[in-house]
Every structure is written in C-alpha cells, then in structure tokens.
Structure 1
C-alpha cells in the first residue's frame, strides 16, 4: 500500500483582471506527516519562476470547504456551489485560487482511506522528529 497521495488539481488564479487564469497545482499527502497536506505550484505558474510549496493542516482544508477557516498564512472558504477558495498570504503578497470542491473532496477522501481522522498519532514518529529537532539545535 502506498504511503503517499498526489493529485493534480485545476486552480483558477484570482487576479485584478476580470478573467481568472487557470494554473496547474498539485495536492500531496504523506502518511509520515499525517496532519498536513501540501499544495504545490510549478515554476511557470509563479512570479518567482520557481516551484512553490505551501504546507497546511488537512483539517483546515476539510473544514474550509464548509465554512471560512484560517487566520494565518493559509485561509480556506467555500465559494458558491462548487468552488473552494484558498488564500496564501506571504510578505511578498497574497495569492487567491479557486479550486473545484469535488476535486478537494476526492483528494481528502483518499487521504482518509490512508489515515483516518483520529489515527494520525499512530503514524507520527516522535523519536525521529525529536532527533531531527535536536540535530538542528546543535
């Protein structure tokens, strides 16, 4: 059984121009980091010209499809019948994308099959994580 999930999604970048441009994005989930999901944008889709990754709580994405959540760097909220808005806030600016809610539900359903809610602690290696923290502190 695989320990990670990758899913391409179509994101629509909200810009000042009336037309939203479609950009490729990818959602990633790994059972070794069971509380988190990662969303990545390829280099051609970013202002910096490099691949950009955002890591945030799986729960944030799940709850954000139903109600506005988040008050930090990543915020998620429903938008209309079939879209979810994900906002990424950084010192350089804010990026806002619309994603089909069905795509997010499909991805989250697959993550729950891999690690059900409430079982995340069974997949966390505290000894390894602590050793990594201590290595970085030295």
Structure 2
C-alpha cells in the first residue's frame, strides 16, 4: 500500500485588500508524519508559502469554524459552490500588525484528498515514533 498521497489543486489567494487570484496548492500527506498535511502554494513556478497543517483540523474546518492561532479555517458556501476558507497568519510586522493571506479551496476536492489520506492511515491509527523524535531533538534536528 502507498504511504504517500499528493494532490494539486487550483485555489484562490487573497492577500490584504487585493482581489482573489488563482495559485496552485500542492497538498501532500506522508504516513511517516500521520497528523500533518503539507501545503505548498506556488504561482508562476515560484513557491509563495509552505504550511504544515493538522489533518484533523482540515477535516473539521470543512464542517465548521476551527482555529485560534496562526491558522483559522471555516466552510464558506456561495450557493452551489462550497469552499474552505483558510486564514493563514504570518510573522509580525514592525508596526505590530501581522502578514495575512486567505486561501479559498474547493471543498469537495479537499475532502477527496482527505479521504485518500484516511485510507493510508485511518484516524485514531496514527503512530508517533517517540524514540525517533527524541533522537532528532537530542541531535539538534
């Protein structure tokens, strides 16, 4: 069985007061890191941002608002179009504000990706290799 799932989606990015514009979101899931989904956002061959997101939080965000910190998710419905709104907060600016980007992903495509990840590692069956983690921490990794 494959322990890796990858899907590329066209999503809409909105930064600041700009209009939405399309970017690619490359989603990946690796059974070796069973709680995380990596999202790499790119445009014209340039990586704009890379985020590690909690798989369960993504799933919960399709159903209702979640997140209090740097990542906030909630479903958005515009008639027949269902989206997941992902608010991603970045580092603080000198004026005390924070960078912020909002990504809108087509909810059915994201749900299909998450279903594939659950086929690789069902929820509740995730294993954490604490010995490997501690060895990495001790080694300074």
Query: TM-score if structure 2 supplies the norm length?
Result: 0.85
Map residues 8-27 of structure 1 onto 2, 5 A cutoff: 8-15=8-15, 16-17=17-18, 19-27=19-27
User: Which whole-Å CA distance do the structure 1 matches of 2:65 and 2:48 have between them?
Assistant: 27
Cα deviation code 1:79-134 (max 9, x no counterpart): 0151110111012500101100011100000000000000002xx22211110011
Quote the RMSD (CA, aligned, Å): 1.8
Judged with a 3 Å threshold, the aligned counterparts in structure 2 of structure 1 residues 128 and 43 are, in CA distance, closer, same or farther, namely farther
Q: Which residue of 2 aligns with 1:108?
A: 114
Q: 2:140, 2:87 → 1: CA distance?
A: 30
2:95 maps to which residue? none
CA contact (8 A) 2:65 2:74 kept: yes
Structure 1 length as normaliser, TM-score?
0.87
CA contact (8 A) 2:62 2:107 kept: yes
Give the deviation of 1:9 after TM superposition: 1.0
Unaligned runs of 5+ in 2: 92-97
**CA, structure 1 residues 98+43, in 2 after alignment: closer, same or farther (shift >3 Å)?**
closer
What residue number does 1:71 align with? 68
Please tell me whether residue 133 in structure 1 is matched to residue 133 in structure 2: no
Alignment of 1:1-138 (within 5 A): 1-15=1-15, 16-17=17-18, 19-42=19-42, 44=44, 50-80=47-77, 81-91=81-91, 93-121=99-127, 124-136=128-140
Give 5+ residue unaligned stretches, structure 1: none
Q: Across the two proteins, how many residue pairs are aligned to each other?
A: 131
Distance 1:85 1:9 in 2: 14
